[in-house]
Amino acid sequence: MCGLLGLVCPSELDADAARSAVDAALRCQRHRGPDESGTWADRGVIFGFNRLSIVDIAHSHQPLHWGPVDAPNRYTILFNGEVYNYLELRADLKREFNLKFATDGEAEAMVAAYHFYGPEVVKRFRGMFAFLIWDSHRQTLFGARDPFGIKPLFYASGPGGMAFASEKKSLLALGRTLGMSPRLDKTALQHYMVLQYVPEPETMHDTVRRIESGTSFTVTPDGTMTMNRYFDPIFRPLGVSQYESGRLHSDIAAVMRDSVAKHMRADVTVGSFLSGGIDSTAIAALAKQHNPDLITFTTGFERQGYSEVDVAAESAAAIGVKHVVRTVSPQEVMETLPLIIWYLDDPVADPALVPLWFIAREARQYVKVVLSGEGADELFGGYTIYREPLSLAAFEKVPGALRKAMGNLSTKLPEGKRGKDLLRRGALTLEERYYGNARIFRDDQIKRVLRTFTPGIGHMDVTAPHYRASRDWDPVTRMQHVDLFTWLRGDILVKADKVTMANSLELRVPFLDTEVFKVASRIPLEEKITKETTKYALRAAMRDIVPAHVLNRRKLGFPVPVRHWLREELYEWAVGIIRDSATDPFLDKAAILEMLEEHRRNEIDHSRRLWALLVFMIWYGIFVEGRIRPQVPEPHYPVRL
């Protein structure tokens, strides 16, 4: 797990100045790879790398050079992530081409495989990755991002060239070299207000974009960039009669055992996050089979009802692992949030990233790699909202005009009135109402606070292509499909990568594996959602693996008491952020303060909307105003083992 930075630049560019700029920009992401750094330059390209040594620690330094016998060092690779089937890949290359390797790691196998198999090689890689390969003979750059978007890859271009990086802040630091002047993207801001994250490929800066998940690309000598989607997560659910349940459950258990086994490959100690749900518990239980000394980590808050510490501790005892708990106070949240947002690059208004940051920091004192349960809900049908098509089925039988009237009636009901949201959502089609797990601001609510609100910009700009691609599927599977392209890669995986790498900790997600997806994509609807539970097939498959008290427990994750904090401990802090912010061109601060008072008086629960606004204001203070300057610590992790 590392941080990469690549600049493809015109040959007439001042090479010394450009390399100096790359060196400086590389330091912005030193936390991603504190073990060693290196830069390399050739005609038309400069590569920089920060390494977090996980596999083949003594070798596999990057940038890594490779070439066939007749053209040694033809290729240079930068690689962030893990390819878990690299041993099998190396064996194939040795058998087919009689290759000998100078290292024992993944990067050399990847670049050699690219030489022999071409761009389609990305379909052979099983893992999480973002990489760049420079071909000095053809003067071309080839790169790709993993199928689900676990690892990030940003890019920007200007008269000074085209640059790619693991973190956006490195590209912003290269702004002068590239000749670009980033500005706040108003469309991205409006999307953020609705979704609580900036959807791919956008970022909050108009000149910086993201390579999308499951996409490869080529940059030719004339600067032309072409992209290719090499992975589409297509669900093909079988009917119950086509797939015997017992076989399905055994297939799920088998592929999860295999995935966790491969995700345990490392030359350093691997631990596991553990909450109170089935996903992380299953991962930890399977990991324990490979590491008898496994350590698990969880976090919680002192407020009752907002902690899974007790359940996680019970699970850890049942599995038989050492368990570490980190409790977070409201004071720590106020003090640390600006630093967390600096690491994020773009605002993400998911409160769960706060406890995740603290437990990542704690875990890094014991291990260098952790496993986690992200992706299980999207693949196996785990979110409670996936049951909504069942609860709204009656509305589908109502004539269109009457449904519209019901929607109009919902607007006349007071905010917070029971049944208001049911009527509103029942009057809408699936495409209109569902855009992921976070629903922050509706249009009528955005207009109250967003001065730059533009009618016509909405969630369907983001979701429409994915609904078109899934038009013949059942509603639940369509929701899963949309989430893979929106909620998962925009929120879940962003916070997972950013806050763990902020602490130089590698996070691995065994559920998000292409082999696991092959099995999950065939699960019949009846084996996902029932009247009693979600993720039915996964729960059945894990019956002999996870403790009984977790098997059918409702998912909580790492709940955060933001609703209470904004009425109590964080109220004055929130007032100060709002008043000090220079976001007046975009936000109506008087309206936001009024929302805060309504929330404090317990009239309307504005907590998630207020949190989204506060996170954006802090982000703006850091990346636009430059007024907020978090003290970024040097990577230092005393190991407690």
448-457 confidence digits (pLDDT tens): 999 999 999 9
247-265 confidence digits (pLDDT tens): 999 999 999 999 999 999 9
**Which residues are catalytically annotated?**
2
299-326 confidence digits (pLDDT tens): 988 877 777 788 899 999 999 999 999 9
Segment 627-641 shows an average pLDDT of 80
144-154 confidence digits (pLDDT tens): 999 999 999 99
Segment 572-593 shows an average pLDDT of 98
For the chain, percent of residues with pLDDT exceeding 70: 98
Q: Enumerate the H helices of 521-605 as residue ranges.
A: 536-541, 548-551, 562-565, 571-580, 589-600
470-483 confidence digits (pLDDT tens): 999 999 999 999 99
| pLDDT, position 558 | 66
The CATH fold of domain 232-383+437-641: Rossmann fold (3.40.50)
Structure tokens at 435: 């855009």
Listed in order, the ranges of the chain carrying CATH 3.60.20.10 are: 2-229
| pLDDT, position 417 | 72
| pLDDT, position 394 | 74
| pLDDT, position 178 | 94
**Distance (Å) of CA 549 to CA 277, 318, 462:** 10, 10, 39
Residue 485 binned pLDDT confidence (cut-offs 50, 70, 90): very high
String of DSSP letters for 253-298:
HHHHHHHHHHHT--SS-EEEE--SSHHHHHHHHHHHTT-TT-EEEE
Q: Give residue 523's identity as a one-letter amino acid code.
A: I
| pLDDT, position 555 | 62
CA distance 193 to 446: 7
The DSSP symbol for 435 reads S
Segment 175-200 shows an average pLDDT of 96
For the chain, percent of residues with pLDDT exceeding 90: 80
| pLDDT, position 438 | 81
Is 607:568 a contact under the CB 8 Å cutoff? Answer: no
The SS3 assignment for 141 reads: strand
Listed in order, the ranges of the chain carrying CATH 3.40.50.620 are: 232-383+437-641
Residue 390 binned pLDDT confidence (cut-offs 50, 70, 90): confident
Answer whether residue 39 shows pLDDT above 70: yes
CATH tag for 2-229 (out of 3.40.1130.10, 3.60.20.10, 3.50.50.60, 3.50.30.10): 3.60.20.10
Answer whether residue 63 shows pLDDT above 60: yes
Residue 238 binned pLDDT confidence (cut-offs 50, 70, 90): confident
323-376 confidence digits (pLDDT tens): 999 999 999 999 999 999 999 999 999 999 999 999 999 999 999 999 999 999
What's the mean pLDDT when you consider all of the chain? 93
Segment 82-89 shows an average pLDDT of 96
Would you call the peptide bond into 510 cis, given omega within 30 degrees of 0 as the criterion?
A: no
Burial of 428 (0-12, 13-18, 19+ CB in 10 A): middle
